[in-house]
Amino acid sequence: MSSTLKHLVELAIAEDLDGGVDVTSVATIPESQISTAHYVTRSSGVVAGIEAAIETLKELGITDITVETTDGTKVTSGTTILKATGNTRALLLAERTSLNFLTHLSGIATETRKWVDLVAGTKCLIRDTRKTTPGWRTLEKAAVLAGGGVNHRMSLSDAALIKDNHIVAAGGVLKAFEAVRAKFPDLSIEIEVDNLEQLREVLSAKPDLVLLDNMTPAMCRDAVAIVAGSSKLEASGGITLANALEFAESGVDYLAIGALTHSAKVLDIGLDLVMEK
């Protein structure tokens, strides 16, 4: 288990207990009772977050776990994702945290798959952003991968992305680009442009990737012709499920979709308890 995941699990359990005990379970369930929890989908979607659910169970002493599916699997309502057998009080303490991981991350994977399916048949890839839940970035970006998308940079230190505010602060597109290249010569550099004139200007610096901000599909097609393969192109802003294919067919390499992580609806998953005889 990664240190990030371990911390999130510990934090969530501590938050649930708030220094006390699960008063309902302690009052109603014998201390030694054993049962089996079935994690079952209530709607169709793409599964993600199984590792997080497992580690939540293990953190509470549940080790008899059977995984019925894998991250990235498309499932229908009524699909059993995993089963866990152990102390009933521990299973119920794990319930909310493990389901929070599963439902949220599966929701991201499901949302990502919608976009990926929409642009199937084009060369365009669906890519996430840094619009992630604080502390959850690694998990949420893994869920994007499970849904068939690809990841943008994980952190600000992975690669450079020169946006409009950097350009303003540096005094121009080329000045900003040249400053980053001089300071970090080995890093990949992506630069944002608002119009085709800026695109032409920055191409002389040979950027690895150009972000076409809030351009129409027609402008994206023009940008593809201007670049002629000399740089990768990513479209961002104003992209919806209704127009995603039109953007993808323009010839850009990526669509940047913040909604994958910041607006995905959770996938409905429940826990059904079966008593051991």
List residues with catalytic annotation: 96, 131, 163, 192, 213
Angle between helices 173-183 and 196-203 (to 10 degrees): 40
How close are the terminal C-alpha atoms of the chain, in Å? 33
**Cα 51 off chain centre by:** 15
> 259 by DSSP, 3-state: which?
helix
> 39 by DSSP, 3-state: which?
strand
Phi, psi of 81, rounded to the nearest 5 degrees: -85, -45
Q: How far apart are CA 60 and CA 58, in angstroms?
A: 5
Q: Which residue, 37, 91, 92, 97, is CA-closest to 68?
A: 37
